[in-house]
Structure 1
Amino acid sequence: MQKSVKFKNRDWEVAADLYLPEGFNEKQKYSAIVCVHPGSSVKEQTAGYYAKKISEEGFVTIAFDASFQGESGGEPRYLEDPATRVEDIKCAVDYLTTLDFIDENKIGVLGICAGGGYAANVALTEKRIKAVGTVSASNFSCAFAESGDPLKMLEEVGKQRTAEARGAEPLITNWTPNSREEAIQSGITASDMLEAIDYYRTPRGFHERSNNKILFKSMGSTIVFDAFNLADYLLTQPLLIIVGDRVGEFGSYRDGFTLFNKAASKDKNIYVVKGAGHYDLYDQPEATSEALGQLIPFFEKHL
């Protein structure tokens, strides 16, 4: 069963879907998992896919739209702000603790792509989270640093902020080209980018509220966000990292092993899905079934 719910972050509402297991009884206590979507995504896409599948195994799960995006509130629109993204997860935990049918000592988090980076990062300081899972986790600072010239990007961000301070319209750009053809015409041949387009911009994973828009000045915050900073000291919860071994340009295979090697967790594991790429782990049945075959026993053990 799926319910639309809302919870507060600061003075705006965050829109979420709450997934309840079959035979749900509000008089029982359930373990709960917060599912965190990638950058450019919304709750109905891969985060909702995992939330639904995991709820079928007896958990209560919640997937939400990031602040400033999708159906959630907050201004300015289309902002990707790492600090607020992490706070969104904490607010989701706040909300779960208000539900009488949730065992507040059995709350976990699962993040996909950038959501995996945010999931690892929130666990550094949010110890109400008792177990951490990631799928194709991406560390923003590494991805941006390797995708172009970060110093030039920061110069451009500064110029745009000056222009907007003087009255210019906010610059809103795309996360990806709008089509594979557009990407190829622009000289883009990176497999991860083309597969991102296949997921987000075709009927395979398209959702109208995942509209491929990002506020350009977001780059000033995302480009320096190291999701794994202090993980060697503060990330102590049980940790399961899922990666595919078909390595692409976005760095999730590398980032998964970086997080595994760095985390202070005494109970940690990394599982490699053979033949899977970054986006296969979003929705493709064979790859996601293998991932869920590891995630569900992990959460059952630790929650």
Structure 2
Amino acid sequence: MKRYIYSMIIACFLLTTINAQNNNITDMENLKLTSEWDKTFPKSENVEHSKVAFVNRYGITLAADMYVPKGAKTPLPAIAVCGPFGAVKEQCSGLYAQEMAERGFITLAFDPSFTGESGGQPRYMTSPDINTEDFSAAVDYLVTNPSVNPEGVGVIGICGWGGLAINAAAADPRIKATVASTMYDMSRVSANGYFDSADTPEDRYKMKSELAVQRTEDFRNGTPKLGGGVPDVLPEDAPKFLRDYFDYYKTPRGYHPRSLNSNGGRNATSPIPWINFPLMSRADEIKNAVIIIHGEKAHSFYFGSDAYKKLTVTPGQDNNKLLMVIPGASHTDLYDRKDIIPFDALVRFFNEYLK
């Protein structure tokens, strides 16, 4: 009798624990999602648009725009889209998502944790782990959606989210095809500076010391300091890539009030975890298809070309790892220049690998 009672107590305890865990996974933050069309690109009449939300593995609720081809028969292949780093879904990722939906895919452009309409505190924080998880959380949502072919889900990462897309693909075999467009390796640029110009232990120690001082100040003040987005006024000697960023984030072409890059930027201590987190460390283990797209004239080209060198072609699939170089294109040309972004090539790529 005692054994029966003990068994019942244990069973009740386990059931309570499982229910608590499930509630932790599914309980959503109360997000305030915009109902009006507030994108930096015009709305397509060939696509059904809706707002959705889902929870990542850390319990953070992510806000997303879902785009579905009008009149299409489901289930369809699907693509999760995010980026650039410091942007929101109303900018580049939404444009990519809508364009790919017009071409027959269900797409999901989401705001990362701590950013835009998504949840998470403190605001404007970044994390290589959590942001990689954001991609997999979007995959969770898609593979469980009855309108989606669960065996045909891919991702597109733009700019800094290109590196995160590759990291997600290395960790999550459900991602059958990955596109990294005009990619940054945020670990590398955080740890080494642009063009690896500060790639010494002494340089990193100096940077970590400055970040440590700022972290103490943030704790003392109770409010994280913002690191600053694209400046409102460019110095006369601003490099071309900064002028290109200004032309996108600070003008009607790409400005958005929720965009970190268009306004105050990320928290100043955001680089801390990226310094010791090598995003590309498992890129050579990706078995599914990857295409890296980069502009020939992009200041960031070395990120994409070096990432491509780490990829390993899967035996029996001679062309499942590709580097596509767009002649004459700069970094930001691949943000929104629809005459330059190779959407037809993306359609062929995803049609081949999202079957």
In the superposition, the TM-score normalised over structure 2's length comes to: 0.78
Match of residue 184 from structure 2: 138
Q: Which moved more, 1:117-126 or 1:97-106?
A: 97-106
Q: What is the DSSP-based 3-state SS (H/G/I as helix, E as strand, rest coil) of the residue aligned with 1:17?
A: strand
CA contact (8 A) 1:239 1:265 kept: no
Residue-by-residue CA offset, 1:143-175 (whole Å, 9 max, x unaligned): 232236543221111112222333453211213
State how far apart, in whole Å, the 2-side matches of 1:256 and 1:169 are. Answer: 35
**Is 1:33 aligned to 2:57, yes or no?**
no
The match for 2:303 among 255, 259, 279 is: 255
- How many equivalent pairs are there? 290
State how far apart, in whole Å, the 2-side matches of 1:163 and 1:59 are. Answer: 47
Match of residue 279 from structure 2: 227
Match of residue 29 from structure 2: none
Change (3 A) 1:150 1:200: farther
Partner letter of residue 231 of structure 2?
P
Residue-by-residue CA offset, 1:245-291 (whole Å, 9 max, x unaligned): 0132xx2x111111211112332111111110010011113212xx2
Q: What is the DSSP-based 3-state SS (H/G/I as helix, E as strand, rest coil) of the residue aligned with 2:266?
A: strand
Q: What is the DSSP-based 3-state SS (H/G/I as helix, E as strand, rest coil) of the residue aligned with 1:104?
A: strand
Q: What is the DSSP-based 3-state SS (H/G/I as helix, E as strand, rest coil) of the residue aligned with 1:53?
A: helix
State the 1:220 CA deviation.
Answer: 0.4
Match of residue 245 from structure 1: 296
Q: Which moved more, 1:157-166 or 1:88-97?
A: 157-166
Change (3 A) 1:168 1:18: closer
The match for 1:23 among 71, 76, 87 is: 71
Q: Structure 2, unaligned stretches of length 5 or more?
A: 1-47, 315-319
Aligned residue runs from structure 1 range 64-83, under 5 A: 64-83=110-129
**Is 1:163 aligned to 2:217, yes or no?**
yes
Q: What is the DSSP-based 3-state SS (H/G/I as helix, E as strand, rest coil) of the residue aligned with 1:122?
A: helix
The match for 1:217 among 250, 260, 269 is: 269
The match for 1:123 among 169, 174, 189 is: 169
Match of residue 60 from structure 2: 12
Q: Taking CA–CA contacts closer than 8 Å with sequence separation of 6 or more, which of the two structures ends up with the larger relative contact order?
A: 1
CA contact (8 A) 2:260 2:266 kept: no
Larger radius of gyration: 2
**Is 1:56 aligned to 2:56, yes or no?**
no
State how far apart, in whole Å, the 2-side matches of 1:16 and 1:229 are. Answer: 29
State the 1:190 CA deviation.
Answer: 1.7
State how far apart, in whole Å, the 1-side matches of 2:313 and 2:217 are. Answer: 45
Q: Structure 1, unaligned stretches of length 5 or more?
A: none
State how far apart, in whole Å, the 1-side matches of 2:156 and 2:222 are. Answer: 39
In the superposition, the TM-score normalised over structure 1's length comes to: 0.91
Match of residue 32 from structure 2: none
State how far apart, in whole Å, the 1-side matches of 2:306 and 2:292 are. Answer: 10
What is the CA RMSD across the aligned residues, in angstroms?
Answer: 1.5
State how far apart, in whole Å, the 1-side matches of 2:138 and 2:313 are. Answer: 23
Match of residue 277 from structure 1: 330
